[in-house]
A and B are shown apart, each in its own frame.
Chain A
Amino acid sequence: MRIFRFVVRRLLQLIPVLLGVVVLAFLLVRVLPGDPVRSILGPNASAEDAEAARVRFGLDKSLWQQFLDYLGGLVTGDFGTSIQSGNSVGSEMALRIGPTLELVVIAVTIALVVATVLGVWSARRANRLGDHSVRMFALAGNSVPEFWLGLVLVLVGYSILGWFPAPNGRVDPDTNLTPITGADLVDAVLTANGPAFASAAAYLALPVLTLVVGVVAPLLRSVRASALEVLHSESYAAAQAHGLRGRTLHYGYLMRATLVRLPSLAALVFGTAIGSTVLVEYVYSWQGFGQWALRGLLYRDYPVVQASVLVIALCYVLVFLIADVVHAILDPRVRL
């Protein structure tokens, strides 16, 4: 009940935060130099044509009126119309969020598991060969740019070995997967399409690996440091001295105490991973949210930029909310 009240309170606090994001995104995109209308007109369009396009997209109205229209649309769930494509921004976004979330959620989940297992394992073997190897891996993961790593993985995994499909999408079109959520693995399960599931998994392997290497490093270092702290603590030494079973020591004392910091860090890493998808999606032709938002920004497609900023902000605050709740569950000292 306490957690429920906490969640409701935090959700209510989101309203002013998101309103602030809406205002800032609306203003900042208009401060940027660049004319969205010129980019959609052919080379023969005249000033009159440009004016007609401005009227079509409501860009001839005062800034206040545009903002009020935008806000009114948001209240009814209307994100506006893309200047580049003429499509509803909401429907375009719905197509692209699923693929990106699938990629990020899988990558962050794998990274969390790998970081936890390797971090604790490494701490228990501190300053031995295994520990040095894990630390080297973390250092490399921190240093390698995702874009470069992606290209190398394509070269090795697709071109040299031929084990992975060509980097040209998310699922083999011949499997005739019916899109529902946009997340292909989920859609394959929902439609019971086995070949599509296998194909989507194959297409996911390299982009997920690219993201995992990028995000696992900070998690790994944090888990190792936390585990070392616990292993050197008096409470752990006391528990050991009382002759508790290894399993009890490991799960009851070491793991629980080690993982306390992880939710907040995982939330941060989740945000970083969403940012990293822009380049990862480019390398793997993923056509997800990142590429869509980037194109929107390049062409000053105002409704697209506004919607993408709002959704990223929403993802961030929700993930941090989840992290706080998980933190409270792991650490009873936390008051909600």
Chain B
Amino acid sequence: MARSHRSGASSPALSRRGVLQLGGSVALLLATGACAADSGNKPKDGASGGPAAKTLRIAVSSYLSSWDQDFVGFDLTALMLYKNVFPYLIDYGVTTASGSQILDTQNVTPTFAESFQPDAEQKVWTLKLRRGVKFASGNEMKAADVKWSKDRAFAAQANVAGVYRTIGLTSADQVKVVDDYTVEFHQAFPSALTRQIQAISLYVFDSVEAKKHATASDPWAKEWFAKNPPTGGYYNVTKANQGQEIELSANTDYPGPDPAKTPTIRISVVPAASNQRLQLQAGDVDIALGISQRDIQDLKKTPGIKVISAPSNRQVAIQMSVTAAPFNDVNIRKALAYAVPYEQIISNVYGGDARAAKSTVPLDMPGHDDNGYPYAHDIDKAKAAMAAAGRSSLDSELVFESDNEEQQKIAVQVQSEAAKAGIRLKLTPLDPATLGERRTKKNIPLQITSGQLWVDDIEYMLATSFVKGANLNYSNYSNPEIEQIYEKSHTTVDTAARNALWKRVQEILAADVPWVVICQPNFNLPVRESVAGWVQPMDGLARLRYLSASA
């Protein structure tokens, strides 16, 4: 990769003579340095040389595992790229909150599509495509592409098929082609979630191109899609060097509002957070998406760099297994809720850069109630709750992700304070596969979880986290009244009526306390000072089309 012209802040601090004194190993470095010198002198075509830079460079921590969105694993780099390179027919708008630009989850608008509207009952949704929208292959995007894409999604029985269940779409027959530019989605029931669920699901493949690569044994061209980047989104993938760099070019044929601002984006893979930091400081990348919390605190004081900070809906919690002893006793759950040092964690782990939780429902989510989590750090109350459960002490395991420094710090602080209330915790870091298996078996008594919901709605939150069998319901929590409310919410589309349901949900969760909600850390992103246009995504998946860099 071409090297940048260095800024003053990061220019070499040592003379060659001084370096010679560093010792034998550096002498070897000097010997081999000559061959590399040339590569360091190339001018950067990024954030320099004009009023608006043509290229933006972004560092990410890993290369994507596959280009096939239907069959991919839970790979955040891949999912972020998909948002920018697949044509999503509808998408969120943008609004301003607390001085920051954020994706507007209450405003889903057509992008590649012309319109997406329900019938009077809100059960049949009609998608109308714009005419003349083309994939990079030159094929026009038509209703047949939408139908083929949805048939494929149902056949995959993974990501989209899973999320469609929440709005009553369970089979490919419910997606009907009316004409070349019109598709209908026949839901089993009306749902207030439809727009948001479709905003994350209505991506389209170039089916004409795909069928050329399908075979009898691979009718959905999985093998071809896994290796060949999709086209036709806000950006097209111009180059993809396996494991190293992906180059995106703005799709100049994008027909909707807010086209991509920067013509070219280069995404390089830099797994080590410390190297991302060095490259950001050197000006070789403009945005670093994988820098550690500790580095971010340091970078706030570094010339040439700014840290974009925005409130996020990422929630950090401890899920307690409510079906197994000792946490099947609500008093024990309350004891832990009182024993956790919330402010200390916000201060020590996040440097104060997090918001205290007020409810199991994230702050800012429509329907949030500030009285939804009435627990604060109080060891006396924790001991009292233990006494109410007839216990003076107990032993348990606290599980967290093995490569997650943030969770490790939280675990240590919770362990220390919980011990004061008689709750002795054994800390267990687990690798992803073991964690996944134990979550499936539901045999983890306590586990730290962290994440944000892709749909900013309490019905979706219940569907994923608080009803029987929900996949993020690691607590195995179930409450008959919440199940009823959830069922009722499917067909309740009136906002006031929904808010009444949500208030009751939060009262129940406050009493049952299946989760210890630790806090909501703010989103922090270190970028070069020249970068502008960051729009905070509520799903954590960066929308690159709004980004720009000045000279």
Residues of A participating in the B interface, judged by any CB pair closer than 8 Å: 32-36, 38-46, 48-50, 52-53, 83-88, 95-96, 133, 137, 140, 149, 151, 153-174, 179, 198-199, 201-202, 205-206, 208-209, 212-213, 282-283, 285-288, 291, 298-300
Contacts and interface: CB of A to CB of B under 8 A. Distances in A.
A49 B162 contact: yes
Given A159-B282, A166-B284, A202-B39, A151 B29 contact: no
B241 A44 contact: no
22 contacts: A34-B437, A43-B464, A45-B157, A45-B158, A45-B159, A46-B162, A87-B223, A96-B243, A151-B274, A156-B19, A156-B29, A157-B36, A162-B6, A163-B33, A165-B1, A166-B3, A173-B244, A173-B247, A205-B32, A285-B268, A285-B269, A287-B242
B434 interface: yes
A154 B35 contact: no
B432 to A, nearest CB: 6
- Kindly name the residue among B65, B269, B279, B284 whose own CB sees the greatest number of chain A CB atoms within 10 A: B65
Given A53-B158, A173-B247, A154 B437 contact: no
Nearest to B239: A173
A87 B227 contact: yes
Nearest to A149: B25
Contact of A95 (B71, B242, B270): B242
- Kindly name the residue among B268, B437, B463 whose own CB sees the greatest number of chain A CB atoms within 10 A: B437
A145 B227 CA distance: 36
Contact of A300 (B22, B162, B433, B463): B433
B279 A48 contact: no
B242 A48 contact: no
Contacts of B469: 46
Nearest to B160: A42
Given A44-B165, A86-B71, A173 B272 contact: no
B132 interface: no
A169 B3 CA distance: 13
A130 to B, nearest CB: 12
Contact of B22 (A33, A156, A212): A156
Interface string B6-18: 1000111110000
B241 A169 contact: yes
Contacts of B59: 168
Contacts of B477: none
B480 interface: no
A172 B471 contact: no
Contacts, number: 244
B226 A42 contact: no
B40 interface: yes
Contacts of A83: 73
B496 interface: no
A161 B12 contact: yes
B486 interface: no
Contact of A49 (B72, B157, B223): B157
A285 B269 CA distance: 7
Given A39-B73, A283-B275, A298 B40 contact: no
B222 interface: yes
Contacts of B497: none
Given A42-B162, A44-B471, A199-B39, A166 B279 contact: yes
B194 to A, nearest CB: 15
A283 B274 CA distance: 9
B158 A163 contact: no
A171 to B, nearest CB: 8
B472 A43 contact: yes
B269 A44 contact: no
Interface string B199-233: 00000000000000000000000110011000000
A40 B73 contact: yes
A33 B433 contact: yes
Given A35-B437, A38-B436, A43-B464, A168 B73 contact: no
Contacts of B72: 40, 85-86
A76 B44 CA distance: 48
Given A87-B66, A154-B275, A38 B437 contact: yes
B12 A162 contact: yes
Contact of A160 (B14, B165, B223, B433): B14
Interface of B: 1-3, 6, 10-14, 19, 22, 24-26, 28-29, 32-33, 35-40, 59, 63, 65-66, 68, 71-74, 157-159, 161-163, 165-166, 222-223, 226-227, 239, 241-245, 247, 266, 268-272, 274-275, 278-279, 281-282, 284, 431-434, 436-440, 463-464, 469, 471-472
Given A168-B245, A173-B1, A45 B162 contact: yes
A285 B275 contact: yes
A149 B24 CA distance: 13
Contacts of A33: 433-434, 437-438
A157 to B, nearest CB: 5
Nearest to B431: A298
A165 B74 CA distance: 32
- Kindly name the residue among A46, A48, A86, A140 whose own CB sees the greatest number of chain B CB atoms within 10 A: A86
- Kindly name the residue among B38, B157, B472 whose own CB sees the greatest number of chain A CB atoms within 10 A: B157
A285 to B, nearest CB: 5
Contact of A299 (B2, B19, B39, B432): B432
A35 B241 contact: no
A202 B13 contact: no
Contacts of A155: 278
A89 to B, nearest CB: 12
Contacts of B11: 162
A87 B63 CA distance: 14
Nearest to B45: A174
B10 A52 contact: no
Given A88-B223, A166-B279, A174-B2, A161 B244 contact: no
Given A36-B433, A44-B471, A165-B3, A86 B68 contact: yes
Contacts of A45: 157-159, 162, 471
Contacts of B269: 168-169, 285, 287
Nearest to A208: B32
Contacts of A85: 65-66, 72-73, 226
Nearest to B276: A168
A159 B245 contact: no
Contact of B73 (A48, A84, A171, A286): A84
Contact of B36 (A205, A282, A283): A205
Contact of B226 (A43, A87, A300): A87
Given A168-B270, A170-B244, A209-B29, A162 B73 contact: no
Contacts of B272: 151, 167, 282-283, 285
Nearest to A45: B162
